[in-house]
Amino acid sequence: MAGGAREVLTLQLGHFAGFVGAHWWNQQDAALGRTAEDEESPGELCPDVLYRTGRTLHGQETYTPRLILMDLKGSLNTLKEEGNLYRDRQLEAAVAWQGKLTTHREEAHPKNPNLQDLLSAEGVRSSDGAWRAKLIQNIQNGKENNIKVWSDFLRVHLHPRSICVIQKYNHDGETGRLEAFGQGESVLKEPRYLEELEDRLHFYVEECDYLQGFQLLCDLHDGFSGVGAKTAELLQDEYAGRGVLTWGLLPGPYSLGEPQKNIYRLLNTAFGLVHLTGYSSFVCPLSLGGNLGLRPKPPVNFPSLHYDATLPFHCSAILATALDTVTVPYRLRSSMVTMAHLADVLSFSGKKVVTAEAIIPFPLVRGQSLPDILTQLGEATPWTSLSACGDSAGHRCFAQSVVLRGIDRASHTSKLNPGTPLPSALHACASGEEVLAQYLQQQHPRVLSSSHLLLTPCKVAPPYPHFFSSFSQKGLAVDSPPKGTAVQSIPVFGALRSTSSLHRTLGDLAEELSRLDLRRWASFMDAGVEQDDMEEMLQELHSLAQCYQEGDSLSN
């Protein structure tokens, strides 16, 4: 691959992080190949930022995610910890022993019988030198309920040094669970796991020419919040100056009928947020829940997307789509924006927590221009919050990074005939970039805004869930879409924001925790958290909330 890529190493910590990661890598894999119409990709994104080249023992060239993934015993189903790409082909290598050879094979874990129609990608270069993604069948309606683990639908091959299983804790069952923040911290205090993580980090980092940083996908609701905190601390100690962008993941929804699980979720989330902000360039919670507190609010709605909030397969697909969009700035071929620069724009004055919002899909209609659509949206832009912070309308925006992707160049500017009265100032703009910048200035005057406009859409080819019923194959809103054709790509409008909504979100979280009677939850404290730790965490959470009081912004 071409040199000069600003490499990123991805770390996925936890089972829901595995779900989000599986969709994320499936989308990256789909973007490597041609479209269904055999059209060339615009080439705006550099896959080498996320992928690495290598060779198997048999000389086969490979292109695999630059990834370290941690999960628990029993979480992989049929996927081998060392992956399948570099496996020995049935002991075909020469064996020096000339006598009788007996091979003992462990019985394979049975494949999910409901997912036999889900084909995997080869993950290697085709004969003409291009990386192509196979079109695969969609997971039929009803079968999505049978997806229990992320490896059921992951369609890319992983490097043998990607997967690390924490054997001392179980993925399933009533006992041996990684439930508390303190347990997670203790995992990386054990030499066995710490050295394994350090070895894998060194393996990937040492082959990078220009490592810009790490993206950390970390479950916040369980003990992986502690694993994530120790991992971020290690990254800051070992690789100071590199960007560490942490995406704190929360599956939804949750039930009031499970009080211990609910209290643990609250405590893990709070400890995770506070510790991760101390070691990360920024932390962005990602959730389809209505709030972070004990009393659940309904999951968020999308005007043109229909999903089942009880299915991790669905929730993780939406979050991966948002993640694939808001991370665009540091994955572009042409841009000099790095992870560290993006973090500097958003996290000034101690604002180390940012929110994510998106319009999925962006309402693109055939025959309409970008100025037409943005004018129709007006001030009531239907952003959906993806950080469990409620509606951002009416809250002060301090800084933002915005990405609009999947807009054909012909639609960037107005096509009104000369002399026609202009419906808005946006219709007078000479380029799509100018249209977007002007729109953001109208929405948030005097706010530091970074924006990117891409031709490249977001790939949603199967096994991505079938969310979109009124869209063409390319994601255009249509009244009568052709039958039997799955949507392959969609336009997406995504944003990372530093907003005053976090003042209330973080403050409310601290208030709820301060009212807890910790004597009832001694098991959480016994896992490795002291009373002093609790008081310090609450103080830091309050301090973090104060950073987002209105009136504190770059524009003042």
Question: 3-state DSSP call for residue 212?
Answer: strand
Task: Evaluate whether 355 touches 390 at the Cβ level (below 8 Å).
Answer: no
Give me the helices (H) in 303-455, please: 312-326, 339-346, 370-377, 432-443
Rounded distance between C-alpha atoms, residue 153 and residue 144, angstroms: 10
Buried b (16+ CB within 10 A) or exposed e, 68-79: bbbbbebbbbeb
Rounded distance between C-alpha atoms, residue 187 and residue 170, angstroms: 13
SS (H, E, C) 144-199: HHHCCCHHHCCCCCCCCCCEEEEEEEECCCCCCCCCCHHHHHHHCCCHHHHHHHHH
pLDDT of residue 539: 96
pLDDT of residue 391: 74
**pLDDT (tens digit per residue) in 224-278:** 999 999 999 999 999 999 999 999 999 977 776 778 889 999 999 999 999 999 9
pLDDT of residue 482: 65
Token pair listed for 466: 């079938």
pLDDT of residue 389: 85
Rounded distance between C-alpha atoms, residue 330 and residue 8, angstroms: 9
CA distances (Å), 219 to each of 115, 224, 247, in order?
A: 26, 6, 8
pLDDT of residue 133: 39
Who's near 294: CB < 8 A, 6+ residues apart? 262, 263, 266, 512
pTM: 0.90
Q: State the DSSP H helix or E strand holding residue 404, giving kind and residue range, or none if neither.
A: strand 397-405
Question: 3-state DSSP call for residue 397?
Answer: strand
Task: Evaluate whether 6 touches 335 at the Cβ level (below 8 Å).
Answer: no
pLDDT of residue 104: 44
**pLDDT (tens digit per residue) in 374-424:** 998 876 667 899 999 877 777 899 999 999 999 999 999 998 888 889 999
DSSP string over 312-342: HHHHHHHHHHHHHHHTGGGTBSS----HHHH
Rounded distance between C-alpha atoms, residue 413 and residue 424, angstroms: 12
Rounded distance between C-alpha atoms, residue 258 and residue 134, angstroms: 42
pLDDT of residue 81: 83
Who's near 169: CB < 8 A, 6+ residues apart? 72, 73, 176, 177, 178, 183, 187, 223
The gap between the terminal CA atoms of the chain, to the nearest Å, is 46
Who's near 6: CB < 8 A, 6+ residues apart? 49, 210, 211, 212, 330, 338
Who's near 449: CB < 8 A, 6+ residues apart? 399, 400, 401, 402, 437, 440, 441
Task: Evaluate whether 474 touches 457 at the Cβ level (below 8 Å).
Answer: yes
The alpha carbons of the chain give a radius of gyration, in whole angstroms, of 24
Beta bridge partners of 10: 67, 215
Q: Which residues of the chain have pLDDT under 70?
A: 1-3, 34-40, 83-142, 256, 379-381, 479-484, 551-556
The structural domains of the chain, ordered by start, are 7-31+45-81+144-347 (3.40.50.1440), 362-501 (3.30.1330), 504-547 (no CATH)
pLDDT of residue 314: 96
- Torsions phi, psi for 123 (to 5 deg): 70, 15
Pick from 67, 55, 58: nearest CA to 125? 55
pLDDT of residue 484: 61
pLDDT of residue 394: 74
**pLDDT (tens digit per residue) in 526-555:** 888 888 999 999 999 999 999 998 764 443
